[in-house]
Structure 1
Amino acid sequence: MGPSKWLAKRKRSPPRPVKNGGDGASATPLPNDEQLSSLPNMPKALPAVGLAACALQLVDFATKILISGHEFYQPRVGSGVDNAHLLRAVTHELYRLTEALNKRRSKKIYNEKRSGKLEDATQLLLRLSESTQEVIVQLIDGLNQAQAKCVGGESTWTNLREPLMTVWTKGAITTQKKKLQLQRKEIDMALLRALKAYIDQSSEKGLSMISLEHTQAYHQEAWQHEAIEAISTNDWKAKNKKHVEEFAKLVDNLVLAEIEARFRDLTFANLHFPEQDDRLHSISKPNEDSFQWIWNSRQQGKGSFPVWLGDTSGQNVFWLTGTRSSYHEDERQLIRETGKPGSGKSTLMKYLFRNEELFPFLERWSGHSPGILTGFFLWNCGTDLQKTTMGLLRTLLYEALQDMIFGPLDEDPSIVQRIFAERWKQFSSYGGGIHKFSLSELRTAFDLMLSDTTKKFLLMIDGLDELDDDPTNALTVLISASNRENVKVCISSRPSVIYQATFKDWPSLELNKWTRKGIQDYVLYAFDQNDTMFNIPAEKSDGTEERAIINTLIDKASGVFLWASLATEFLIQSTKESDDVSTIKWRVNALPQELEALLIYMFDNLDAQHFAQAARLFRLVDAHGYPSLLPLTSAVDTDTRSALEADTRPLTVGEVLTRTEKMRNVLVFKCKNLVSIFEAVPADSPRTSVEVANFAHYKVNYAHRCIRDFLRSYEMRSRIATATNYEAFVEDEYWANAHLWSLKTLQPRDGKLLIWDTLADCIEHALRLESNDGRVRLTYLDEVNATLAEHLINPATPVQSMDLPPGAMVNSFGDISVLLNLGNYLTIKARSADKKDLRHAIEYAKDVRKRLDAGGLDMFLGKRGKLRESYEKVDTDLASLLEYHTKSSLKLGSPKITRDMPEWV
């Protein structure tokens, strides 16, 4: 058999959402070595090309705003895009493009000093980019003024000049337009000089202009290759007007390619969310031998999974579930046979997902058509997007489109523009189309993607019962998809009534009937790894009783992996070296067979001190969502002021190991493995030394949804509240301490210090505590201030390397305080603040607010409710107070501005 037409899991750099309104370059992963090796040899993109590409995009977009002939895409009626939204989108795009150009300019263009025409042309491009930005600043100011005048109402403009005409004269607009058109010509000439100089240097030194080196922006490389060939063939010169005009037509292709690439990158960033694959990674790696039976169609009989994969009759849904409920034949009453949770459905789905053993079976169905395998693992213990139809569709689209474009299919990247045609029209017209997706829009895009009948799609959806929204939304999408001849859908869920009704006529598998061997392997392995189990002289036992104990455990598990793992680990922890087989046998017989009863039994057998520690940790995890491992090691500290005294320095490897090992012991021995640690990236993903040393990818969450649901039951909530002294234990105090500790121990990664999320979390929790009792956390915020100051003066992490809000440069925590309207804190600090620093903070806040209000606010505030509330609050008294304290002298008789002094701690 030849190579599979189905795409296996590719090793890709994990994507990151665009932050700070950047140019989106980080949103699209690098093609891997295998993909690059299939591309034709292309010249490595010159720094001059990258710099010019950024400048040209900016000039092109700004020019469109100023010309009456630009085809302005009018958003459809009822789209919610009013005048203010539209102008914010335009302004935000100008900010993004300007920032991308600034980043390009700040990069070191050469590793060593060079001389000659190539460097001269590059330096000219740098100067041209500076002069371009001067025009753009004026344009942004004009748009901001226009926005203040054009409030409300859906847009009826035919071009973007119209709103500018409310604040600028026709002559002023014409002047700005001419400046930009001149900039475009000069950039074209400078770029032509740079490429011509590169050709001449390569020729003089006898060097080949073709290189095997590749960068992410390989569309730039392709364009450069084409441009060099055209320049060489036609002998174009920058001094020849006609040559420059011909070259400008070629440059138009570069600008269009850049715009398309940016749209694609921003769309991927909009589809992606950080926790997308966390559930998949949290599932323990399956034992390969435990699931070999899944490939044996004879063993499973009619409707087996392998047969279904190759079936061409239209049976396009396969349901993986637990034991189903049934009805009594006479009384027609429901017999209680639970679809037991924890039966290993997710473990099997992880084993199957992107497993290459699928492909020979699938090819019986797909034939010669290429196949796309995509899926999503829902998680009710996770974030909103991990348990909703919205997150499901975003993931399926993201993964499938990435596969098509960057996988072996090498699909035309314009597929993104076709699927999101409405957004592409908005983006190419006025920089719009990067707003949040709606569910209906995602459904339309999903249908369009699947409508390509030249491809086959296998969708694998784990945990459909984990949905937190109306399940009919997801069911409608998936069943509709399965009605297509080119789509198969494999779904796992508990056998709830709605899923039984939906899937009763489709091929299915009740997993509980097939898991005995896997549970047996697990129990034997766990016992084998523990020295105290059955530690008796061989001559005193023939092994019969030991085998009976193991069989009793397996029988009691009734096919439920979760019961088997919890019971086995609990038994091992309860066993001492002095225990004999009879004692162990008694303990096994005492274990309740139902999962909930087992959990109650485990807690009843915990001593009070251990239960109190476990209860505290349960509350901390619930308050956070699911935290990263290292911050949690500080949140469990009983001293909520410990971070105030800590030094600002990275932890040593030894300190990290000590903390994480201590936490692991708490989770295993105090929490009885009900809360587990997992690594939120694939095992083979590349990691920096800092990420490895700090366990940066490790997170903590409940081992299973049913455990979380059990702990949230009325009885357990009451027990946990009593054990933790409910009112005295304020989770926000512990997390505030943990976030400050995290801020103090931050380490740079790849020369960047990712500080904003930790800093914002510190402020958010200080505001929560203040809201709770009315007292400003002055001591805490002053320590946040001091910690930020230490990071800002650290030469190893200059402020340019920090992911702080875009716009003006941060000088101090005072800048952030004014930006975020920390009213009570500023009321206390304003009197003693340095007037120069306070003036800078006010100007900083004005500049950054322009940038954030134009777009990108959600990226920086996220779901931090108190932070958003503070930022959006209009406090004219605070503004007056700050202005009052910036004045070096006051006129006689000037009114004194005062505010009531808040309480603080």
Structure 2
Amino acid sequence: MDPLSALSLAATLVQLVDFTSKIVSKGYHIYNDTDQALPQNVALEYLVTDLQNLNARLHHHDRLSCATRDEQALEDLSASCAVLADELVSRLNKLKVADDAKHRKWKSFRQALKSVWSKEELDAMAAKLFEYRNQLEFHVLLSLKEKIDLLEIQLSNHFDRLDEATKCIIRMLEQNETPFTNEFKAQNTIIAKLHHDNRLHVSKEHEKTRVEIIQAINAHRVSKGESDRVVPILGATSDARKHAVVISILDSLKFPSMCDRYDGIDDAHKRTFDWIFRHESNVHSWSNFSDWLVQGAGIYWINGKPGSGKSTLMRYIYEDARTLSLLGQWAGSPDNLTVAAFFFWKSGTADQASQTGLLRSLLYTILSKHKTHIPAVFPDEWRTFYDRKSAQSEFTMLGLFEHRWTLKQLKAGFQRFFQIDLGRVCLFIDGLDEYDGDHTDTISLLKAVASTNIKICLSSRPWVEFQEAFESQPSLRLQDLTFDDIALYVNEKLTENERTFFDQEPLKISYFVSEIVTKADGVFLWVKLVVRSLLDGLNNGDSIAEFDRRLHELPSDLESLYTQVFNNISSRYLAEGSQIFQIMRATNNWKPKATHSASEIRLCALTLSFAIEDTEERAINTPAMLISDDEIVKRVERIDKRLKVCCAGLLELSSKPSLCRNEPREDGNTTTVLERSRKLSVKYLHRTAKDFLDNDQILANIQRATTGTNFSVYSSLLKSSLLWLKICRSPSQRIRYFRPRLELPMEIAYAAQEESNTSNVELLDELGASISRLRPVKADFLDPKYSIMTYERFDESWPDNFLFLASRFSLSTYLAVKLVMPNTKTGREGAHSYLFHALHRQFFVPPDFTGILSEHTVDLLLQYSSRADIKEGWICALNYIVNAHTSLLRHGDAALMLIKIFKLFLDYGADPGLRVMGNERSDGPREYSVSDVLDRISAYHPEAAAEVYRMVNRRSRFLYRAGLSRRTKTPDPRKWHSRYH
């Protein structure tokens, strides 16, 4: 019998013996998530199912040849356990009763078993189990110790087939934490002697695999340095496992707003922009685009004024079938062609305006077609995802495996991809001027990538840096080429109006069209705004003279036109318009402080409706519900009208409401009305409109309209978040969706506190109740891919106590109100204290986030903490400082805040002699004294730190003289991390 099979069988036997022993013990109960005894039949169902699963694994165990007596003992023990399990399953099934039966509760399962077994039979079974346990401890492990190298098993490709329980046993044995007896600890010494021989064997196998993979990698022209990193991760693994890793990497590259800008661009008016695929020989003001698609190389640059229609043209080109047809001629065949696009949007989320977002989007599209090359493009990341995959499937809901892509990783992957010969690639990148960063960096990256096999179509404003970079490339200037398009658009819009007078005055239409085209000077956006204003006049019954006067009164530049439009908002709508403008600005500028899952607030029509139309009382008193489709449609239609009336069209929905049209989902089903409503996001009319509304004077006018009212931007969004939780249809995977649903409203609650220092007690109380309703319960973990360990870790990570969550998110004003209430438990609840949750949560703040730790929250919680709680919090605080990313310590007043927290703990009697472990040094963990920890932050605020140094010294001397000074056992933060990782 090979060692791996022996270990797997032993693991199954351990579980079976332990499980059945508990069943026949005198006090075995099963509890549900409310700590109440489960109903009889439900409890039996759990027991029978678990026991049958364990027994099935024994029955399906391959009966292999046994070379030794100990191996034969293992097989014999397996057969005996299987017989015992069959008998116990049979007896348990007899206990099931009808729903209306009496006497449904037992003190224990042993008491219940007495109804189908005698006391003597139960005692005999218990004795058998004790005997089996002894055999397992002494006979079986004697054989295992001679054959198994625990460390090398984890390197074996067969290890992938082990379930989580078996892996857990291996690691426990390795760490001398066996579930059996202390005698096993001595086995490690004996087992270690075999380490050298097994390592040689495994190394030979690895070298063989390495040679094969290097040859495969070289075929794709990847450097040896990269192939060295690919080698350890491309072993003989199952296709299903590889596929799961591929999907995980692709999912991590996606981001929620990736397609929002593209979807929000208006379709080109019919028959406009068709000239891009035709090029008359007498026109020399622009480079032939069709020729470039078929035989060109490098970059094609589309430039134009703000509002000239660059994005509309780029979408038109990207969607038109002629583009793919012409590119197909260049590539030779469709299979040899890869096309991807990205549309920058400075008025959107951070991802939409960043180089990180650009690369994630392009790589997602490209690698979706070339999945087999993901390991070569991202070798290190592939290994990371692969190593974590088994744990990720179980702990996704904890959010511990959410990959944060760095710009360095993405750039490296982007460049690696184009080193691989995968045919021909064409990229379309719109709005390069809307990139929120150093434009020369992006220009350099794209120019370096462009080649004979990779061409890029770009669009931007004609800024100097772009002119210098692309002046030698094929290009066109859009405003010079759209006069006919503008004339066509204006003519059709004016003549299709029912109240037009042009059928009586046909000659006037040519005059007005010519006037508009001349004043527009190629700016399509100006034309749309002017035509909208003129049509409003026609609908109001304007005569030809009034129409002409209105046209000549309209400014010819966009900013002046925006000012006129803004000033024309009726006074009765100013307050509501102000609220909408402020909410839009807040969501557009949203930057979470601690949680990546809350990285975006998607201001869809329904979110805005909840924020401005529903009162706080309604949000609190509304029960959990399923909102009707009719109400969704009505709310969306109202918001569409309010944006036009209250915001003068400067804000609009990303697309026309079409909630009744069914759309397919990836799983083959059709989307719901609620799902489709989420796509109707509120957006700025144009980037120039956002720039206008962000002007200091205009912004002051907007805010003045709500001065003196109780309006709060983030309290309104908190109210909206609460209503979203209440209408939320419970998903089939509510474990997976719990974390993002929790963290966004909690981050918004923190922002509301920072905005107005309000406690929002009633809203937050109801938010806590709603979160509790959505919180996964133990029954959700009955899926085979989860285990009871999963639930325990989840329960510890996300405790069902809203005050703990409030502590984690530093909701100090709320805590100040709740902690003084007589029915609030202020002491330790469960495994950890309030201080622990406030401080330990900061370990998981990404390095580029500022965090939400607050000295006010710490000060408040210290007042309600015991000495044990203070010690636990002190350890957390020291570990946080030791392991904090340098960029976080340098951020604003973060270091000063940490120094203040340091001082607070010392004021409350924290031990200055405590020592903690830190992982800062490259040569491994080391111990840090309190003074060492203070050294990490003192350089940023030396004066404030000097006082704390004096406090540490004074208190240390006092404790020494009092005979209380001692060297405290060094706490290791990795033990805490292991609870969550």
Q: C-alpha distance in 1, partners of 2:624/2:355?
A: 43
**Which of 322, 347, 362 is residue 381 of structure 1 equivalent to?**
347
- CA displacement 1:135-156 (0-9 Å, x = unmatched): 555777899999xxxxxxxxxx
Question: What is the alpha-carbon distance in structure 2 between the residues aligned to residue 556 and residue 293 of structure 1?
Answer: 22
Is the CA contact (8 Å cut-off) linking 2:651 and 2:683 kept in structure 1? yes
* Per-residue Cα deviation, 1:546-585 (whole angstroms, up to 9, x for no partner): 3422332233222222111122222223444432222122
2:567 to 604, 607, 629: 604
Match of residue 429 from structure 2: 461
- 1:874–1:779 CA distance, 2 compared to 1 (3 A): closer
Q: Does 1:416 align with 2:381?
A: no
Out of 740, 745, 748, the position equivalent to 1:765 is 748
For residues 212-263 of structure 1, give each alpha carbon's deviation from its aligned partner in whole angstroms, at most 9, with x where no partner exists. Answer: xxxxxxxxxxxxxxxxxxxxxxxxxxxxxxxxxxxxxxxx977454553344
Change (3 A) 1:120 1:832: same
SS class of match (1:318): strand
2:802 to 809, 813, 823: 813
> Of 614, 625, 644, which aligns to 1:668?
644
2:829 alignment partner AA: R
> Aligned pair in 2 of structure 1 residues 578, 799: CA closer, same or farther (>3 Å)?
farther
Secondary structure, counterpart of 1:698 in structure 2 = coil
| Residue in structure 1 matched with residue 558 of structure 2 by the alignment | 595
**TM-score of the two chains, using structure 2 as the length reference:** 0.57
Deviation of the 1:270 alpha carbon: 2.9
CA contact (8 A) 1:815 1:842 kept: no
Gaps of 5+ in 1: 1-51, 60-112, 147-167, 179-251, 323-339, 406-412, 885-897, 900-905
Q: 1:699: Cα distance to partner?
A: 0.9
Query: CA 1:726–1:757 in 2, change beyond 3 Å: closer, same or farther?
Result: farther
Q: Are 1:634 and 1:741, in contact at CA under 8 Å, matched by a contact in 2? A: yes
Q: CA deviation at 1:663?
A: 0.7
Picking from 623, 633, 636, the partner of 1:657 is 633
Offset of residue 545 of structure 1: 1.9
Instruction: Tell me the residue number matched to 2:619.
Output: 643
Other-structure match for 2:955: none
Are 1:880 and 2:866 counterparts?
Answer: yes
SS in 1 for 2:370: helix
Superposition deviation, residue 750 in structure 1 = 5.3
SS, match of residue 298 in structure 1: coil
CA distance in 2, matches of 1:173, 1:569: 84
Matches within 5 A, 1:452-531: 452-482=420-450, 484-527=451-494, 530-531=497-498
Distance 1:320 1:380, change over 3 A: same
Within the alignment, does 1:740 sit opposite 2:716 as a pair? Answer: no
Q: Residues 633 and 399 from structure 1, CA distance in 2 versus in 1: closer, same or farther, beyond 3 angstroms?
A: same
3-state SS of paired residue (2:273): helix
Alpha carbons of 1:142 and 1:513: their partners in 2 closer, same or farther (altered >3 Å)?
Answer: farther
| 1:814-858 Cα deviation digits (max 9, x unpaired) | 5644655656645654565587997358499989999x8897x66
1:309-330: CA deviation from partner (whole Å, max 9, x where unpaired): 1225xx42111011xxxxxxxx
1:348 paired residue among 313, 318, 333: 313
> Quick one: distance in 2 between partners of 1:881 and 1:568?
72
Q: What letter is aligned with 1:512?
A: Q
Query: 1:845/1:879 Cα in 2 relative to 1: closer, same or farther (>3 Å)?
Result: closer
Seen in structure 2, the aligned counterparts of structure 1 residues 271 and 870 have a Cα distance that, compared at 3 Å, is: farther
The 1:456–1:173 alpha-carbon spacing in structure 2 relative to 1, beyond 3 Å, is farther
Instruction: Sort the Cα spacing of 1:775 and 1:590 in 2 relative to 1 into closer, same or farther, 3 A.
Output: closer
CA contact (8 A) 2:566 2:647 kept: no
Q: Secondary structure at the match of 1:551?
A: helix
What secondary structure, in the 3-state scheme, does the structure 1 residue paired with 2:266 have? coil
Would the aligned equivalents of 1:272 and 1:394 in 2 still touch at CA under 8 Å?
Answer: yes
Query: Equivalent of 2:287, from 303, 307, 322?
Result: 303
Confirm or deny: 8 A CA contact 1:806 1:848 kept in the other structure.
no
Deviates more, 1:666-675 or 1:862-871: 862-871
1:373 counterpart letter in structure 2: V
Q: Is the 8 A contact 2:643 2:649 kept in 1?
A: yes
Give me the whole-angstrom Cα distance separating, in 2, the residues matched to 1:636 and 1:261: 45
The answer to whether the 8 Å contact 1:297/1:307 transfers is no
Partner of 1:677: 653
**Higher mean Cα deviation, 815-824 or 367-376?**
815-824
Once the two structures are TM-superposed, the CA of residue 286 in structure 1 deviates from its matched residue by 2.3
Identity of aligned residues (%): 23
1:873-895 Cα offsets, whole Å, 9 max, x none, are 996655539979xxxxxxxxxxx
Measure how far apart 1:679 and its partner are: 5.3
Which amino acid in the other structure matches residue 507 of structure 2? T
What is aligned with 1:438?
Answer: 406
State the partner residue of 2:506. 543
Counterpart amino acid of residue 303 in structure 1: S
| C-alpha distance in 2 between matches for 1:371 and 1:787 | 49
**C-alpha spacing 1:342/1:764, structure 2 compared with 1 (3 Å):** same
| 1:733 to partner: Cα distance | 2.1
Cα contact 2:360–2:410 (8 A) shared by 1: yes
Check conservation: 2:303, 2:461, Cα contact below 8 A. Answer: yes
Letter in 2 for 1:342: G
Q: Note closer, same or farther for the CA distance 1:397–1:762 as it changes in structure 2 (3 Å cut).
A: closer
Structure 1 contact 818–826 (Cα < 8 Å) conserved: yes
The Cα shift of 1:416 comes to 1.0
SS of 1:479's equivalent in the other structure is helix
1:787-814 per-position Cα deviation (integer Å, ceiling 9, x unaligned) = 3344459999999999999722754535
Q: Is the 8 A contact 1:460 1:490 kept in 2?
A: yes
Classify 1:442/1:670 alpha carbon distance in 2 versus 1 (closer, same or farther; 3 Å): same
Q: Does 1:783 find its partner at 2:766?
A: yes
* TM alignment of 1:186-585, pairs within 5 A: 255-287=237-269, 289-298=271-280, 300-301=283-284, 303-312=287-296, 315-322=297-304, 340-367=305-332, 370-405=336-371, 413=372, 415-425=373-383, 435-482=403-450, 484-527=451-494, 530-534=497-501, 541-585=504-548
Matched-pair contact (CA < 8 Å) for 1:818–1:842: no
Cα separation, partners in 2 of 1:823 and 1:848, compared to 1, 3 Å:
closer
Aligned counterparts of 1:511 and 1:804: Cα–Cα separation in 2 = 59
After superposition, the Cα gap between the structure-2 partners of 1:495 and 1:767, relative to the gap in structure 1 and judged at 3 Å, is same
Greater displacement, 572-581 / 125-134: 125-134
Task: Note the aligned Cα RMSD (angstroms).
Answer: 5.0
User: Structure 1 residues 835 and 878 mapped into 2: Cα distance closer, same or farther (>3 Å)?
Assistant: closer
**Contact 2:629–2:673 (CA under 8 A) maintained in structure 1:** no
Is 1:616 matched up with 2:579?
Answer: yes
> Could you say if the C-alpha distance between residues 383 and 862 of structure 1 is closer, same or farther in structure 2, counting changes exceeding 3 Å?
farther
Q: Tell me the equivalent position of 1:627.
A: 603
- Structure 2 counterpart of 1:329: none
SS in 1 for 2:499: coil
Q: TM-score, normalised by structure 1?
A: 0.62
Taking structure 1 as reference, are residues 317 and 689 closer, same or farther at Cα in structure 2, changes over 3 Å only?
closer
- Aligned CA distance change for structure 1 residues 175 and 737 (closer, same or farther; 3 Å): farther
Offset at 1:362?
A: 2.4
Query: Unmatched 5+ residue regions in structure 2?
Result: 12-48, 62-81, 86-158, 178-183, 195-233, 393-400, 589-601, 871-906, 909-981
Matched pairs, number = 648
Letter of the structure 2 residue corresponding to residue 420 of structure 1: F
What's the CA shift for 1:707?
Answer: 0.6
SS at match of 1:472: helix
Quick one: higher RCO (CA 8 Å, sep 6+), 1 or 2?
Answer: 1
Cα distance in structure 1, aligned partners of 2:481 and 2:457: 18
| Alpha-carbon distance between aligned partners in 2 of 1:833 and 1:806, rounded to the nearest angstrom | 28
Preserved CA contact (<8 Å) 1:691 1:697: no
Which amino acid in structure 2 is aligned with residue 380 of structure 1?
Answer: K
Note closer, same or farther for the CA distance 1:389–1:130 as it changes in structure 2 (3 Å cut): closer
